[in-house]
Amino acid sequence: MSGGRFTNEFKRDAVAQVEDRGYPVREVAERLGVSTKSIYTWQKQFSRPAKVVQEVDVQADEIRRLKRDLARVTEERDILKKATAYFARESR
């Protein structure tokens, strides 16, 4: 095996499947036709520092919170729209 067989993009995608999507290294290696050692080597090469991972986790938590808030506010807006339409009909 030569070192230039796989592109950096391919290697990063393989590492992302393990780190971001949570697939087992063995499964990713089998699916992509590479050794588990290659996956682990690529992880060392391309993995993000712990501080970056922590920041990404914090941002993901914030996004989830904001989506919940948006869903709640959207629901409240829809209720108010219906109430406004109801009372507009009643006042006629």
User: Which stretch of 1-5, 17-21, 57-61 has the lowest confidence by average pLDDT?
Assistant: 1-5
pLDDT of residue 50: 74
Question: pTM of the predicted model, to two decimals?
Answer: 0.49
Same domain for 20 and 60, yes or no, is no
Return d(Cα 53, Cα 24) in angstroms, integer: 19
In this structure, are 11 and 43 located in the same domain? yes
- Please write the tens of the pLDDT for every residue from 47-76: 777 788 788 889 999 999 999 999 999 999
Percent of the chain with pLDDT over 90: 64
- The whole domain housing 69 covers 48-92
DSSP string computed for 68-82 = HHHHHHHHHHHHHHH
Cβ contacts of residue 43 below 8 Å, gap of 6+?
Answer: 15, 18, 19
Block residue for tokens 């989830």: 64
The domain total for the chain is: 2
Both 92 and 58 in one domain: the answer is: yes
62 and 77: one domain?
yes
Share the mean pLDDT of the chain.
Answer: 90
Looking at the fold, whether 41 and 52 belong to one and the same domain comes out as no
Examine the domain organization and report whether 40 and 8 are in the same domain: yes
Residue type, 73: V
State the pLDDT at residue 3. Answer: 57
